[in-house]
Amino acid sequence: MLTYAKYGNPDPARRLLLSEAEWAARLLPAQFQVLRQARTEPPYRNAYCRSYEPGRYACAGCGQVLFDSAAKYHAISGWPSFTQPATRGALRFHFDDSHHMQRVEVRCNVCEGHLGHVSADGPAPAGLRFCINSASLRQAPEGTL
């Protein structure tokens, strides 16, 4: 993850690049603010914070599968938290030094939409916590994505 953030990310199998006007027309206002403007939704008052239904989580912008519900856990962070992505190349990583912090930002590797951040305070074995905005996700029941 740090190597990708520092030296570059893997190329996705496909790309979805749209203008800001096209993204605004395609997304709900809350999705646009998170995915395209890198905003953060309020903690605990979001769709998937307390949801543990089986299924997969895809990018709300492009439909790329990002996480599996089997990797979701209760982190008491206020946002959905996952231990790992669904596939190795699903995510992009970038250094984020905004708000006087040094973090690793997580983006969708297909549309480059902002998802959230990853930190090294998660459970074993990898010790990672992918803290993701619900507005950047769309959940689909198991077997539909």
| CB-based contact 73:58 (threshold 8 Å) | no
Alpha carbon separation from 8 to 4, 5, 49, 113 (Å, rounded): 5, 6, 30, 16
How do beta strands 72-73 and 65-68 pair? unpaired
Which of 128, 132, 127 lies closest to 117, judged by CA? Answer: 132
**Residues with a known catalytic role:** 131
